[in-house]
């Protein structure tokens, strides 16, 4: 009997020390950059915004960061911040697939993520290691030591006007204006992570909302937004453009 | 038998929870450096606990600071434009020089007491010291390099592999560690042993009559902006310089996009000001006398001219000063020169 107890004790000891390795699974995020529910087509297809301006898109990139999965009771699984910074580039399909591994088991009803780089993380959490990625993607404002959170460029024709190019680069303006935005989306079909499971979340970015959402932005009025106070309006619009298409 | 199992349980209890941490035998190969706040200084803005300077981190930061590999042509190091003899500025150049003879648009700022500054560069474009080097490293007219490029070059150097390994726990050559090492070097660059400091700390020095008169004038006429022992309130202001059409430098407006920030530049510290000529953001003024002449007679009006320089009726007041008063202020400013700092070989290239 004593022998049996000791063996049990030994087993419990071994198992209890495994607490660190709780069951984990994978969550794949897919970002779909759409206009009118269709995938955007770079350079070729013209779209029309609410200011009656037609436009084509030549470049679309944005930074996704600080991904957090939230359970119904509000408990959060914070994805390791150092590994949580991505550039979504419409031109590169692999950049639109973000695979998050080692997600703790559980049923998640919400996802939260940021667009951009939050200033509270600047000296912390190894976020500086995102610099080379941002640099390679042209998402760094070299003269301002800051990131472009959104890079959205193309051509447009205003109603009855002549064609021109547009260029929207949105980031924070030093300490004067923080354009980092967080987005929380409800996952209508709860995703349940178990040991070794893979869940998929398809997230739509409705690109037309960059012009037309909380604010309406006419390109004829301003086609070049780099460091411009109007970037705040664009950042607020970007915050509204994401929805979950499917979750399984 | 039971006894034997007892032993096994014991061993399991011991082994099951062991981790690398238990096996790690710390060898203090990389002692921390003392970061001492001078008694007449405020608390630092830099959170030293997040990046405490160590012997190896500092050594690595210094090596990087003086290494041309941080630039695309292998020549322009940080130390190229920030020369210790001139309190880490550049004399012979009005504006900074970059790779392949490229010219910048602004005058290199002195480097000292950076741990006490909130924002960096003339327009506050860097909001954290760890991020500041991104600007000169990647700017085409300065070092014109990429972090990817630098990391690749450093990985090829065995001495850097060793130094990064010794300086940082994760031993990695990456942008985080590169920037942290540079910051460790730069935050240690404290200039606090000028004659003025010794007077402020009651260490036995006294002003001459001229210096004392200058200090009094300075306190009443300059210290509202060049405030406190750091001699800057760290704000951005338009001090009425005529716009140089060659650069048309819009100042802080470039960072904020606000019309109200047009032509505003950071109020610079005045420590070591005797050594850091030429003056102003574009190095247009050669001497301290030129600077005071500007304040007394040279300002031009614009929408954003600082209210400090205006009369209640909106006309330009500037800073009225007699020639004698100017000489007295200059005498005082020279008490801010810290010879110990410019000769401190901890910061020297060789």
pLDDT score for B18: 44
Query: Smallest Cβ distance to B12: which of A14, A136, A145?
Result: A14
The label of the residue with tokens 């006309």 reads B315
Q: Please state, rounded to an integer, the average pLDDT across all residues of chain B.
A: 91
pLDDT score for B100: 83
Q: Nearest C-alpha of chain B: how many angstroms from A189?
A: 39
Residue B12: pLDDT band by 50, 70, 90 thresholds?
very low
Task: Report the percent of chain B where pLDDT is more than 90.
Answer: 84
Contact A131 B12 (CB under 8 A): no
Residues A42-53: tens digit of each pLDDT: 999 999 999 999
pLDDT score for A176: 87
Query: How many C-beta atoms surround the C-beta of residue A189 within 10 A?
Result: 12
Query: Smallest Cβ distance to B127: which of A127, A132, A174?
Result: A174
Of the residues A144, A175, A225, A230, the best mutation for testing chain B's interface (the one with the most B CB atoms within 10 Å of its CB) is A144
Domains of chain B, earliest start first: 48-190 (1.10.760.10), 195-340 (1.10.760.10)
Query: How many C-beta atoms surround the C-beta of residue B346 within 10 A?
Result: 10
Model ipTM? 0.83
Interface of B with A in 171-210 (CB under 8 A): 174-176, 179-180
What would the mean pLDDT of A74-90 be, rounded to a whole number?
A: 96
Contact A131 B257 (CB under 8 A): no
Residue B216: pLDDT band by 50, 70, 90 thresholds?
very high
What would the mean pLDDT of B308-321 be, rounded to a whole number?
A: 95
pLDDT score for A1: 47
Contact B50 A123 (CB under 8 A): yes
Residue B24: pLDDT band by 50, 70, 90 thresholds?
low
Query: Smallest Cβ distance to A142: which of B139, B254, B257?
Result: B139
Contact B127 A9 (CB under 8 A): no
Higher pLDDT, A164 or B90: A164
Judged by a CB distance cut-off of 8 A, whether residue B45 touches chain A is no
Of the residues A8, A12, A128, A137, the best mutation for testing chain B's interface (the one with the most B CB atoms within 10 Å of its CB) is A128
Contact A123 B128 (CB under 8 A): yes
Query: Smallest Cβ distance to A3: which of B2, B124, B179?
Result: B2
pLDDT score for A4: 53
What ranges make up the beta strands (E) of chain A?
24-35, 38-39, 47-48, 54-71, 76-78, 86-89, 97-104, 106-115, 140-141, 146-147, 150-157, 164-170, 181-193, 198-206, 224-225, 242-247
Task: Report whether pLDDT(B117) > 50.
Answer: yes
Beta-sheet pairing, A106-115 with A146-147: unpaired
- What is the Cα Rg of chain B in Å? 25
Contact A228 B257 (CB under 8 A): yes
Contact B258 A6 (CB under 8 A): no
Show the 3-state SS of A133-180: HHHHCCCEEHHHCEECCEEEEEEEECCCCCCEEEEEEECCECCCECCC
Task: Report whether pLDDT(A27) > 70.
Answer: yes
Assess contact for A63 and A86: CB atoms under 8 A.
yes
Give which of A193, A185, A198 is closest to A245, Cα–Cα.
A185
The label of the residue with tokens 């602004």 reads B106
Residues B143-201: tens digit of each pLDDT: 999 999 999 999 999 999 999 999 999 999 999 999 999 999 999 999 999 999 999 99
Task: Report whether pLDDT(B274) > 50.
Answer: yes
What would the mean pLDDT of A176-186 be, rounded to a whole number?
A: 95
Q: Please state, rounded to an integer, the average pLDDT across all residues of chain A.
A: 90
pLDDT score for A21: 59
Judged by a CB distance cut-off of 8 A, whether residue B128 touches chain A is yes
């Amino acid at each position: 009997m004593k022998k049996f107890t000791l063996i049990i004790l030994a087993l419990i000891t071994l198992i209890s020390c495994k607490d660190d390795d709780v069951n984990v699974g994978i969550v794949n995020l897919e970002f779909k950059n759409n206009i009118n529910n269709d995938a955007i087509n770079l350079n070729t297809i013209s779209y029309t915004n609410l200011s009656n301006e037609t436009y084509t898109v030549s470049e679309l990139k944005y930074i996704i960061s600080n991904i957090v999965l939230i359970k119904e009771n509000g408990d959060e699984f914070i994805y390791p911040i150092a590994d949580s910074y991505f550039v979504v580039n419409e031109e590169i399909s692999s950049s639109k697939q973000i695979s998050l591994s080692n997600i703790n088991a559980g049923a998640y009803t919400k996802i939260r993520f940021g667009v951009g780089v939050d200033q509270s993380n600047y000296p912390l959490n190894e976020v500086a290691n995102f610099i080379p990625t941002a640099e390679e993607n042209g998402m760094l404002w070299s003269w301002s030591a800051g990131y472009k959170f959104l890079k959205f460029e193309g051509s447009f024709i205003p109603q009855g006007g002549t064609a021109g190019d547009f260029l929207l680069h949105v980031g924070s303006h030093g300490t004067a204006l923080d354009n980092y935005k967080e987005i929380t989306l409800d996952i209508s079909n709860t995703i349940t992570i178990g040991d070794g499971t893979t869940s998929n979340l398809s997230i739509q970015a409705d690109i037309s909302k960059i012009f037309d959402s909380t604010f309406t932005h006419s390109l004829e009025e301003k086609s070049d937004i780099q460091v411009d106070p109007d970037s705040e309006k664009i950042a607020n619009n970007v915050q509204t453009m994401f929805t979950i298409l499917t979750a399984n | 038998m039971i006894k034997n199992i007892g032993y096994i349980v014991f061993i399991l209890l011991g082994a099951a929870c062991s981790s690398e941490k238990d096996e790690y035998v710390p060898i203090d190969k990389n002692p921390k450096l003392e970061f001492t706040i001078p008694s007449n200084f405020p608390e630092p803005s830099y959170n030293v606990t997040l990046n405490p300077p160590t012997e190896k981190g500092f050594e690595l930061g210094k090596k990087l600071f003086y290494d041309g590999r941080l630039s695309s042509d292998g020549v322009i190091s940080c130390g190229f434009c920030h020369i210790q003899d001139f309190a880490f500025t550049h004399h012979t150049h009005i504006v900074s020089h970059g790779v392949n003879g490229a010219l910048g648009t602004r005058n290199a700022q002195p480097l000292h007491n950076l741990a006490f500054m909130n924002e960096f560069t003339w327009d506050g474009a860097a909001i954290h010291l760890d991020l500041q080097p991104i600007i000169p490293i990647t700017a085409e007219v300065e070092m014109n390099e990429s972090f990817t490029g630098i990391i690749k070059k450093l990985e090829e150097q065995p001495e850097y592999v060793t130094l990064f390994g010794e300086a940082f726990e994760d031993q990695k050559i990456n942008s985080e560690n590169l920037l942290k090492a540079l910051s460790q070097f730069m935050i240690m660059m404290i200039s606090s042993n000028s004659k003025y400091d010794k007077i402020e700390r009651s260490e036995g020095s006294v002003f001459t009559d001229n210096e004392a008169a200058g200090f009094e004038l300075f306190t009443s006429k300059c210290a509202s902006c060049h405030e406190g022992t750091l001699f800057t309130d760290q704000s951005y202001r338009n001090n009425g310089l005529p716009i140089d059409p060659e650069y048309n430098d819009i100042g802080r407006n470039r960072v904020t996009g606000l019309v109200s920030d047009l032509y505003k530049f950071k109020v610079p510290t005045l420590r070591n000001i005797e050594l850091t000529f030429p003056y102003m953001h574009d190095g247009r003024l050669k001497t301290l006398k030129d600077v005071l002449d500007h304040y007394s007679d040279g300002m031009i009006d614009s929408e954003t001219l600082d209210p400090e320089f205006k009369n209640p009726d909106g006309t330009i007041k500037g800073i009225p000063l007699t020639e004698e008063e100017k000489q007295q202020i200059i005498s005082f400013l020279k008490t801010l020169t810290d010879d110990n700092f410019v000769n401190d070989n901890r910061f020297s290239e060789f």
